[in-house]
Amino acid sequence: MNLEHSIAALATRIRSAASITALTGAGVSAASGVPTFRGSKGLWRNYAPEQLATPEAFREDPRLVWEWYNWRRELIAKCRPNAAHTVLAAWSRRYPRFHLITQNVDGLHELAGTQDVVRFHGSIWEVLCWERCPGSPERWRDDRVPFEEIPPHCPHCSGLIRPGVVWFGEAIDPEVWTRSVEAASCEVFLTAGTSAVVYPAAGLIHEARSRGAFTVEINPDLTPNSGAVDLTIQARAEEVLPAVDSLLLS
Ligand code: OAD
């Protein structure tokens, strides 16, 4: 199917769907200037995310891990939502049973005005006490850019704070997991901008399929999930989503 037909096919599905769920990944923020994780451009000082985004890495070298997050926070603070975020935000307001699950921690979906974002991997703008000291809240927003000191310290116990994101080897928040699985029960489940290699997020599309959803992948590259979905649209999210939306509005 060529691109135009794929876009029309997705619009037709969405038009008649009672419920729609979108799962986004780093590729959706690429056009905003946020680097993706994988691929040579995603690397920071030659470290792969799996080497930095773990409790072990933090325990061993909190300064190194915070330098990476501080670099990402400084970069993201300058980024604005792109056309893909804007369309998904419009759908969250237009369709009563629309759900957005994002693996992105950048906050750009929220900035675009998306309602009830399910933050599968947390937020880079939140922090928590590494020691979980009794005086501190479970997590709190901290948008200082840059931090005056790295690694930054807990205002309650003077120990370290850590980013409010899910690291490799850590469990997804049970409430977030429940909301995500519930959202996988839908008529159209589309993923956009994810390499589909990080589980359990990558498994949600299979969950959706097994619950009868029509599944769609939007990504300029093929992923391990490409062969398993009903429709693969091999193009950029910030081009595909506005094109689908103009058909929906026509
Ligand atoms: P990746 O960096 O693994 O993958 C980004 C995907 O976006 C790739 O498949 C690209 O081909 C695709 N892509 C690039 N530009 C695009 C565009 N304009 N439109 C659509 N797609 C585009 O990012 P994620 O799959 O999100 O985890 O990574 C998953 C998780 O791994 C992240 O949430 C993060 C990371 O470690 C945590 O922070 C826990």
Other CB atoms within 10 Å distance of the CB of residue 178: 12
pLDDT digits (tens, 9 = 90+) for 118-174: 999 999 999 999 999 999 999 999 999 999 999 999 999 999 999 999 999 999 999
Q: Give the residue whose CA is nearest to atom 16 of ligand 1.
A: 27
Ligand 1 closest atom vs CA 37: 2
Q: Give the residue whose CA is nearest to atom 25 of ligand 1.
A: 194
Q: Which secondary-structure segment (H or E) carries 119?
A: strand 118-119
| CATH 3.30.1600.10 given to domain 35-78+123-165 | yes
12 alpha carbon to ligand 1 midpoint, in Å? 27
User: In the structure encoding, which two tokens stand for residue 74, read together?
Assistant: 């400084």
Q: Give the residue whose CA is nearest to atom 31 of ligand 1.
A: 198
Lowest mean pLDDT segment, chosen from 23-27, 34-38, 78-82:
34-38
**C-alpha span between 127 and 125 (Å, rounded):** 7
Ligand 1 closest atom vs CA 237: 19
Longest CA–CA span in the chain (Å) reads 59
Domain ranges of the chain: 1-34+81-121+172-250, 35-78+123-165
3-state secondary structure of 180: helix
Pocket of ligand 1 (CB under 6 A): 25-27, 30-31, 36-38, 42, 49, 53, 103, 105, 121, 165-166, 192-195, 198, 218-221, 223, 236-238
140-141, strands of its sheet edge to edge: 140-141, 122-129, 161-165
188 alpha carbon to ligand 1 midpoint, in Å? 21
Contact 92, 154 (CB under 8 A): no
- Superfamily for domain range 1-34+81-121+172-250: TPP-binding domain (3.40.50.1220)
**C-alpha span between 80 and 82 (Å, rounded):** 6
For residue 152, the model assigns a pLDDT of 98
Contact 45, 215 (CB under 8 A): no
Q: Give the residue whose CA is nearest to atom 20 of ligand 1.
A: 193
Q: Is the fold of 1-34+81-121+172-250 the same as that of 35-78+123-165?
A: no
Other CB atoms within 10 Å distance of the CB of residue 80: 10
User: In the structure encoding, which two tokens stand for residue 166, read together?
Assistant: 């899910």
pLDDT digits (tens, 9 = 90+) for 206-219: 999 999 999 999 99
38 alpha carbon to ligand 1 midpoint, in Å? 7
Residue 237 has pLDDT above 90, yes or no: yes
Contact 123, 105 (CB under 8 A): yes
% residues pLDDT > 90 (the chain): 94
% residues pLDDT > 70 (the chain): 100
For a substitution probing ligand 1, which of 6, 37, 79 has the most ligand atoms within 8 Å of its CB?
A: 37
For a substitution probing ligand 1, which of 195, 205, 229 has the most ligand atoms within 8 Å of its CB?
A: 195
pLDDT digits (tens, 9 = 90+) for 38-80: 877 777 888 888 899 999 999 999 999 999 999 999 999 999 9
- Catalytic residue annotation: 121
Q: Model's pTM, two decimal places?
A: 0.96
For 101, phi and psi rounded to 5 degrees? -110, 130
DSSP state of 202: G
60-63: long-range contacts, CB 8 A cutoff, minimum separation 24:
62/130, 62/151, 62/160, 62/162, 63/150, 63/151
**C-alpha span between 103 and 203 (Å, rounded):** 13
Q: What is the DSSP string of 120-153?
A: TTEEEEEEEETT--TTS-S-EE---SS-SSSS-B
